[in-house]
């Protein structure tokens, strides 16, 4: 059965997050973006609104809603600004859902519950200065000693680096396997900011997501307790890919919201600006740009909702999620470029939001698997070179009332 109606719960999430964006983000975002200023109070406000644990079961401190609700929250947050959606991507997509799925009961109590309640913020450390797409090219190491692992390495381009309380970091527990590029030598660890040897910093001069925090996490002889390993030794690569399955979903839904923001801004402007004695919305070439925004928005939304539906059912969704991410990010980049075009010179200035949309749209074709990596994935699925075998522990299906 196909049912495209939103439940009352979905409509309520949409309204809650839309109102949040209107009240807490839109009046301030131009200044924050100009000043490259991350507003830490936004985390408290997101927590108070129950958004930081939206799809985490209530027994672990979350709101207990489904994965479609997570997508709606991402879409509507990015409608206001990409930096808001990035918070959900790393905090829920890349970490909380990994703790929910792979964490021991003790790890869930210690790390998931405070994250779901918004008391602690999570981030994800995979990328390094010399390796992003090439995950097995990372160099960070985790050497086992008596009662702990010693982590060393540099994590780069990490969202919320200077803000998060905990980082899910991937490192080599088997150096021989690192030399052979065998991913079964990688493991995943929950690293607390307060552990000795953890240093972070912020990257300035970014093209986009300027109201967000992005930086580096340096690990120097960091002693991480054995019980902070997520999953088993050697499962780091699989856990990282699992995290990306959830993170890409949030990026796809967010990019859809960005396309809608471009569409709404362009429609409004086209009905007020006149050239050649008529509103620019009357010109066919302007209509074409708006039409592409409509098709981009609608198709992107269908793709991420399909991925969310599969997640709700506990079904395999890596291929569908990656396709949604690729398509929605491409659509958002085109919509943002066209929105600047519709605004003419005014689109070139931050008097209007479309230049921010344009700069923000670029990042999503890079992070959580570049456009090229997504294309390769889809071709490999089609050619039969890649088949989803599932993970030892799948994402829990949505249990209403849980």
Catalytic residues: 368
Binding mask 102-141 for ligand FAD (x = CB under 6 A): ---------------------xxxxx----xxx-------
Residue nearest to ligand FAD (CB): 132
Q: In the complex with ligand FAD, which residue's Cβ is closer, 85 or 260? A: 85
CB atoms within 10 A of CB 66: 23
Radius of gyration of the CA atoms of the chain, in A: 21
**CA atoms of 312 and 94, how far apart (whole Å):** 17
Within 283-342, the residues that bind ligand FAD by CB under 6 A are: none
Binding mask 200-219 for ligand FAD (x = CB under 6 A): ---------x----x-----
Q: Which residues pair with 279 in a beta bridge?
A: 274
Between the two ends of the chain, the Cα-to-Cα distance in Å is 24
158, 171, 265, 307: which one contacts ligand FAD (CB under 6 A)?
A: 158
Q: In the complex with ligand FAD, which residue's Cβ is closer, 21 or 125? A: 125
95, 141, 159, 361: which one contacts ligand FAD (CB under 6 A)?
A: 159
> Residue 168: in which H helix or E strand, if any?
strand 166-172
**CA atoms of 360 and 16, how far apart (whole Å):** 23
* Contact predicate 336/262, CB 8 Å: yes
Within 243-282, the residues that bind ligand FAD by CB under 6 A are: none
The string over 184-218, giving b where at least 16 C-beta atoms fall within 10 Å of a residue's C-beta and e elsewhere, is: ebbbbbbbbbebeebebeeeeeeebbbbbbbbbbb
Residue 378, burial from CB neighbour count under 10 angstroms (0-12, 13-18, 19+): middle
49, 267, 366, 393: which one contacts ligand FAD (CB under 6 A)?
A: 366
99, 157, 352, 358: which one contacts ligand FAD (CB under 6 A)?
A: 157
Question: Min. distance of Cβ 240 from ligand FAD in angstroms?
Answer: 9
Question: Min. distance of Cβ 115 from ligand FAD in angstroms?
Answer: 15
- Interface with ligand FAD (CB under 6 A): 90, 123-127, 132-134, 157-159, 209, 214, 363, 366-368, 370, 372-373, 376
């Amino acid at each position: 059965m196909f049912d495209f109606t939103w439940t009352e719960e979905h409509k309520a999430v949409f309204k809650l997050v839309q109102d949040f964006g209107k009240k807490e983000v839109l009046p301030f975002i131009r200044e924050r973006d100009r000043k490259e200023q991350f507003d830490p109070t936004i985390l408290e406000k997101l927590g108070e609104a129950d958004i930081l644990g939206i799809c985490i079961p209530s027994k672990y401190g979350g709101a207990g809603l489904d994965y479609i609700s997570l997508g709606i929250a991402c879409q509507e947050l990015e409608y206001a600004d990409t930096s808001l959606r990035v918070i959900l991507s790393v905090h829920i997509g890349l970490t909380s859902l990994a703790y929910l799925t792979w964490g021991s009961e003790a790890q869930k109590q210690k790390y998931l519950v405070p994250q779901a309640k918004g008391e602690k913020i999570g981030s994800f450390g995979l990328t390094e200065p010399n390796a992003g797409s090439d995950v097995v090219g990372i160099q960070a190491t985790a050497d086992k000693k008596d009662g702990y692992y010693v982590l060393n390495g540099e994590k780069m381009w990490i969202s919320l680096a200077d803000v998060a309380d905990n980082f899910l970091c991937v490192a080599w527990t088997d150096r021989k396997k690192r030399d052979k590029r065998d991913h079964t030598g990688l493991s995943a660890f929950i690293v607390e900011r307060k552990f000795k040897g953890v240093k972070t910093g912020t990257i300035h001069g970014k093209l986009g997501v300027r109201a967000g925090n992005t930086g580096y996490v340096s690990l120097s002889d960091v002693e991480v307790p054995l019980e902070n390993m997520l999953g088993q030794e050697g499962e780091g690569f699989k856990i990282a890919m699992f995290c990306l399955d959830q993170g890409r979903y949030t990026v796809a839904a967010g990019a859809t919201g960005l396309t809608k923001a471009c569409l709404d801004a362009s429609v409004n402007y086209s009905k007020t600006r006149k050239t050649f004695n008529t509103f620019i919305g009357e010109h066919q070439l302007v209509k074409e740009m708006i039409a592409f925004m409509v098709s981009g928005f609608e198709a992107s939304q269908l793709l991420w909702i399909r991925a969310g539906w599969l997640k709700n059912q506990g079904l395999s969704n890596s291929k569908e999620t990656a396709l949604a991410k690729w398509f929605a990010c491409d659509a958002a980049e085109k919509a943002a470029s066209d929105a600047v075009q519709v605004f003419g010179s005014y689109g070139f200035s931050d008097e209007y939001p479309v230049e921010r949309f344009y700069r923000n749209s670029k990042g999503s074709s890079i992070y959580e698997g570049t456009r090229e990596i997504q294309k390769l994935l889809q071709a490999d699925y089609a050619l039969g070179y890649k088949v989803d075998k599932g993970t030892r522990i799948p994402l829990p299906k949505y249990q209403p009332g849980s």
